[in-house]
Amino acid sequence: DIPSSLQALMEITPQSNLLIYNIMIVQTPIENSTVNFVAPLIFNTDNQVMAQIIIDDRNDFSIAEPIKNYLKGSENG
In the chain, the domains with their CATH numbers are: 4-70 (2.30.290.10)
Residue 30 C-alpha from the chain's centroid:
18
Q: Are 34 and 66 in contact (CB under 8 A)?
A: yes
* pLDDT at residue 58, rounded to an integer: 61
Non-local (6+) Cβ contacts of 25 within 8 A are 33, 34, 35, 64
Contact 39, 65 (CB under 8 A): no
Task: Check residue 74 and give its pLDDT.
Answer: 55
At residue 73, the pLDDT reads 66
Q: Note the pLDDT of residue 76.
A: 54
| Predicted confidence (pLDDT) per residue in 17-74, tens digit | 999 999 999 999 989 999 998 899 999 999 999 999 988 766 677 778 888 888 876 5
Q: What is the pLDDT of residue 64?
A: 84
Could you tell me which residue, 66 or 15, shows the higher pLDDT? 15
Are the CB atoms for 43 and 77 separated by under 8 Å?
no
